[in-house]
Chains A and B, each alone.
Chain A
């Protein structure tokens, strides 16, 4: 750590201060430019025509204007209702939908018509399914690859540790296997809910690497939820210990007043510093910045 630049001061914030500072005014670096033209409508219309969901829309991603205008999106399979009430996430929770067996074909069709060379597939968490949705992931990866020849990145839930689930997704041989850590261990239950377990996140990433070392593993954290700098660095060290190759660090933004408040907006230079620290820890690629999300510029990272 002694080779790193002096860390940006990161104060410990008390619960009272968190409450007082809830939903502070958005700093200028988190504002987007007004989009020019409406080229993003092509992507939005195609998704509607093919009845496909994206995490971009469902999670209210702040980058979706940019991504849609570049004819890219992160497809969200297995419906748009999630079985876990994570405090940070805007995806709807409640009664899940029936798995649509033609979804892999529609996903492949969209990927082909968008001309994608790198397709990112994520899903809602489906703890209600026997395999957590692993078989559907498998079918989607194969359908996209067969139709387009594109590289495929999966961003999966933890499958609740269901036997055989990770193995089934790995059998589809995605180029990148992403599973987000989201936050540091101290905040895990508060942020991700009581069913989520930090140790299982690490175990999932380790297991993927063990099953197929040629698959790049990837993870990401949202910052600004009250974590301390040393906690972040310890978490990154844990990820490196399980062989994680790619890392994303981005600013948490509160999707609505009902979600967890933002404790702090990290300035861009602090993201730069953490990104540098992560590279020195051995991550092959690191994307660190206020607007970075787990699949933001995913193709460039994977290459």
Chain B
């Protein structure tokens, strides 16, 4: 038995509390309950039009009582980053930022700066949509881009409670079987941004995934005004 490996394993057993808040969906101590907390990110082919791609960004899930849920923060710029040449550096960005009752979208555009600093690409407006309440208010631009911003169900599903026991080494049985397991996110809501955009506007990509398929490599960031 390697001593270092054993120590590492025991270390995990000792840090259950720290791990509890370190999951992706609920996030790190620095952003948990924060208006810039990203809960989730989805990207898929539109079910109604295979020529379109849909991006969904969920912010601020309310899965736990002390976690934030709305409204959108005017000082937080949400940015969908798109790498089209496989260097993992964003070639295009789509941005969303609220003002009063409206969510403004910009791009897809080559960003002024790559990496951790951003500015709103005001010269490349994409469209805007009224921020919804319980009922969804959507808009479709002349270019065929559909936009939504507002509260929606948190679609993520995960037995987070059992996960923490598993990862803490206190559940010799591992996860619970179907029927006994509990979706911690059942009934949770989140502040969602949804954009459906024609691939022709996103442009060409040469990036490949592990199976050799052509893909956009995407990720989302939130950025706070300095």
A-B interaction? no
The chain A residues found within 8 Å of chain B, CB to CB, are: none
Q: Which residues of B contact A (CB under 8 A)?
A: none
